[in-house]
Structure 1
Amino acid sequence: MSSRDEYSSDEEDIYDSGKGSQVLLGFVDGAITNDDLPTIEDTFIGGQPVWLHPDSKPPESYLICDHCRQKLALLVQAFAPIDGKIYDRVIYTFGCKTSTCAKQKGSVKVIRGINKSPQTVKRIKEEIEEANAKLVDEKLRLDNVKKLNEEMTKNLFKRDESGVFSANPFGGNPFEKTEVSKEKEVPKEKGVPKEKEVPSPQTYAQAASKNAPKSKKKKTLDEKLPEYNGSFVYVEPEKFKKDKSSDAELEKYRHLIDQDEDDLMVEGSSRRGSQSSAVLDPQTQKISNMLDDKYFASFSSTVKHNPGQVLRYDLNGKPLLYSGKDEVAKKFLLTPANIPKPGFNPSSERRFEFQLMPKAIMDLEGLDDKDKVDIKDILNGMSWGTIIVCTDVEDYIPEEQFDENKVGYIEEWCGVQWEESV
């Protein structure tokens, strides 16, 4: 069973449809293989990046860790077109695989890429025209159905001059031509389909948000970077489970805390009954600190409704903070948020676009969900809680950054909320 099947409509009844969200969630789908490689229009984690043109790559400095100077590995590549923009747009997020680079500035980087070649612009315009033509055809079809229904039913309950109903055009008048009693309710029309709401013409971004089938065409990925396990990602709207009585993630952590405290109690009577946090081992103390953070509690409470999420996309929205105590949190807890302005476009601002979630760590590192994962698996390895990506609101890239293929890349800002040190 694929990840897509795990979140199928068979489980719709456990979700509260009344509690909506504008957030789009990314879930891991199939693995990337040599026979099933991603294209520009795919979103995926791990593996090798797919550049906007085979001969157009970002500057090398964008792909090097600022701490150890080693090449970075792809964490996520997100196809992220913007409404009204007639070009391809991709966001790449990279991280250093060297464990000593955790929490170091420049060990995680974000690149925004744009392809505005004439061929790309032409293709997108054709896709938009085709999508709009389909909507027009559907609207005409619904209009014709409406007119037909009106024609068939216009005399169904019409009174003549004597005050009685006209004959039923469907054959046989069930009301026997008697005068209408004020006490009697006029029967509702039957067999008249409800008119469907016709959406406005789609933008390319809306059309591209659909999960297009993946290309089976083999591609050559040259000049490979270090890499994690690669998996395709599919996107669905965020939904919340009806049962809010338990918090799966917090309960898991509390179980580990209780277990460690029990172990401490049997180690010696000198520790028995102590209320000091000094008696807790470092891992347990770390979890206790997280439980005391209301933002972490909110993070866990939200994620437990969709525990498989690896990505949260909410352009112009707000990130789900993993902690309320670090420097990244301080930027977003201000009103307005104090996100660094783009140096390449200083008159502009940046906005939140998406964040990478901790479940991605397990998928990137190939941890098997079926195996028992202890506290070290959760807190070691890649040691971030979430990676928050913010991009220029004007989606600007200086002209000198574009090459002969009309492809340009620019480095954007990301805020990494790391696990607490022990």
Structure 2
Amino acid sequence: MDPYDSDSSGFDDDGDFTETGVLLGYAADEIVEDTISHLGGWPTWLDNATPPPGDFAKCKVCSQPMLLLLELHGDLPNDFPHDERRLYIFSCPRKPCNRKPGSVRALRATRKLKIEQPPQPKKEEKPEPTEEKKTDPPAPKQDLGASLFGSSSLTGSVSASANPFSSGASSGLPSNPFAAPAPSPGLSSQPAKPAQTTPSSTKTLSESFADKVRVSSPPPTTQPPEASGPSAPWPSQSEFPAPYTQFYLDAEYETMSRPSTPTIPANVTIDNTEEEGAGGSGELKDAFESELDKAFIRFSTRLGHNPEQVLRYEFRGTPLLYSHADAVGKRLHDPKNPSPGARVTTVAASNRIPRCEYCGSERVFEFQLVPHAISVLEEGRDVGLGPKDDAGMEWGTIILGVCSKDCGPKEVGVVGYREEWAGVQWEEPTK
């Protein structure tokens, strides 16, 4: 059973595979174009002088510092052209905290690079004075039109700046959409980026991971006020458990091959004498699948097309549910609208992602971690040796829901942190 969802773009001419709008992340041992996005290791901040409040580092179950699972360079030039973004997933490795709410937490960092200039209607009211001055207005109007349709600093910086990683790829897919504006090879050594109001600041946005996703949605018009957070400092590295090994991320769009029709070997014969009494192989197959979680079958089959993936990214898209029966599955799955491609956002109904606690806006799906990330992070790591630490991860998927308005500080250059919704679907216990 392998449904092809509404996000699929269709099979190629040969009918062998289909491509979707989901961007897949893969672990890489060596540095790729993006030096910010990575699994494991230590987090780096938009401004090293302004780390998050220390309370964000702590597990909500045991109040001890957690380990970084993922840091993602999350700029979205089409949605938030004036914002710099990073996303983080933290998890508590201690056995008593396993499977408990609050043992996995998500964090979003935002910094505004430039304030959007409000429209200036005064220029349209000026051609009223005397008729002698009517010869002057055409010049500024032409300049305004030129700035709006290609020569303004904002338009040129976001849409017209060249990207070294996607040269001549306007009609093709990027080789690596996890692209960051500047390298940061050392641990926590990335230099702080000063706030800039020149076009060079916004030029870095076009080189981001999410810009390569080629998403487009109306950018937010306003930002909610900054919310006050806890004042405890971020813990020192000595207070954390040993981090997971760091892996950088490479990416490509999801492709799925058409399932092949099984062939029957020449030396095998089929006895149909029992088929009439048993209802046929079709009924046996249906009976077998009815005993399993159909969501899990779809989940594992979909991942099987690209088994090395660790991350699935689709801003405002649809998460791939591990189960419909757990708390997260019941919240996100709508049995009245079971279409696998249905978009998941916050709506009036209670069975959706919770609204942003800071500004009240709806939250939308951005990405999810999938089980192969566990295999990558725990490879060569001693787990299960102690009663408290390194118990081993047992989740099936971690789904991130983020504020649709990317709420944060309004001031240029000020870094703000928001805790976002992390929906964890835990691995089914073996019986």
Taking the aligned partners of 2:29 and 2:397, their CA distance within structure 1 comes to: 23
Residues 113 and 410 in structure 1, CA contact (< 8 A), matched pair in contact too? yes
Aligned to 2:293: 293
Is there any run of 5+ residues in structure 1 with no aligned partner, and where? 1-12, 120-124, 136-195, 200-205, 247-287, 369-379
Aligned to 2:69: 75
Q: Which runs of 4+ in 1 moved over 6 A?
A: 36-39, 196-199, 288-291
Aligned to 1:203: none
2:121 is equivalent to residue 93 of structure 1 = no
Aligned to 1:43: 37
Aligned to 2:186: 218
Matches within 5 A, 1:361-380: 361-367=374-380
Report how far residue 101 of structure 1 moved. 0.6
Deviations 1:40-95 (A, max 9, x none): x6211000001111111111111100111110100011111112422211110000
| One-letter amino acid of the structure 1 residue matched with residue 108 of structure 2 | R
Taking the aligned partners of 1:213 and 1:344, their CA distance within structure 2 comes to: 29
Taking the aligned partners of 1:302 and 1:220, their CA distance within structure 2 comes to: 36
Pick from 359, 362, 365: which aligns with 1:345? 359
TM-score by length of 2: 0.57
Deviations 1:154-175 (A, max 9, x none): xxxxxxxxxxxxxxxxxxxxxx
Taking the aligned partners of 1:208 and 1:242, their CA distance within structure 2 comes to: 25
Taking the aligned partners of 1:89 and 1:133, their CA distance within structure 2 comes to: 19
Residues 93 and 392 in structure 2, CA contact (< 8 A), matched pair in contact too? no
Structure having greater relative contact order (Cα 8 Å, sep ≥ 6): 2
Q: Kindly name which structure, 1 or 2, has the bigger radius of gyration based on alpha carbons.
A: 1
Matches within 5 A, 1:2-401: 19-31=18-30, 42-82=36-76, 83-84=78-79, 85-117=81-113, 129=157, 132=160, 209=177, 211=179, 215=183, 217-220=185-188, 223-224=236-237, 225-226=240-241, 227-244=243-260, 292-334=292-334, 338-346=352-360, 348-367=361-380, 381-397=392-408
Does the C-alpha gap of structure 1 residues 210 and 353 become closer, same or farther in structure 2, counting only changes over 3 Å? closer
Does the C-alpha gap of structure 1 residues 217 and 18 become closer, same or farther in structure 2, counting only changes over 3 Å? closer
DSSP 3-state at the match of 2:21: coil
Does the C-alpha gap of structure 1 residues 216 and 330 become closer, same or farther in structure 2, counting only changes over 3 Å? closer
Does the C-alpha gap of structure 1 residues 208 and 89 become closer, same or farther in structure 2, counting only changes over 3 Å? farther
Residues 26 and 309 in structure 2, CA contact (< 8 A), matched pair in contact too? yes
Residues 88 and 106 in structure 2, CA contact (< 8 A), matched pair in contact too? yes
Is there any run of 5+ residues in structure 2 with no aligned partner, and where? 1-11, 116-152, 190-234, 263-287, 338-346, 382-390
| One-letter amino acid of the structure 2 residue matched with residue 388 of structure 1 | I
Aligned residues: 280
Report how far residue 381 of structure 1 moved. 2.1
Taking the aligned partners of 1:75 and 1:211, their CA distance within structure 2 comes to: 19
Does the C-alpha gap of structure 1 residues 127 and 410 become closer, same or farther in structure 2, counting only changes over 3 Å? same
Aligned to 1:414: 422
Taking the aligned partners of 1:234 and 1:197, their CA distance within structure 2 comes to: 17
DSSP 3-state at the match of 2:20: coil
Taking the aligned partners of 2:68 and 2:371, their CA distance within structure 1 comes to: 15
Report how far residue 406 of structure 1 moved. 0.8
Residues 42 and 187 in structure 2, CA contact (< 8 A), matched pair in contact too? no
Report how far residue 102 of structure 1 moved. 0.9
Taking the aligned partners of 1:339 and 1:22, their CA distance within structure 2 comes to: 21
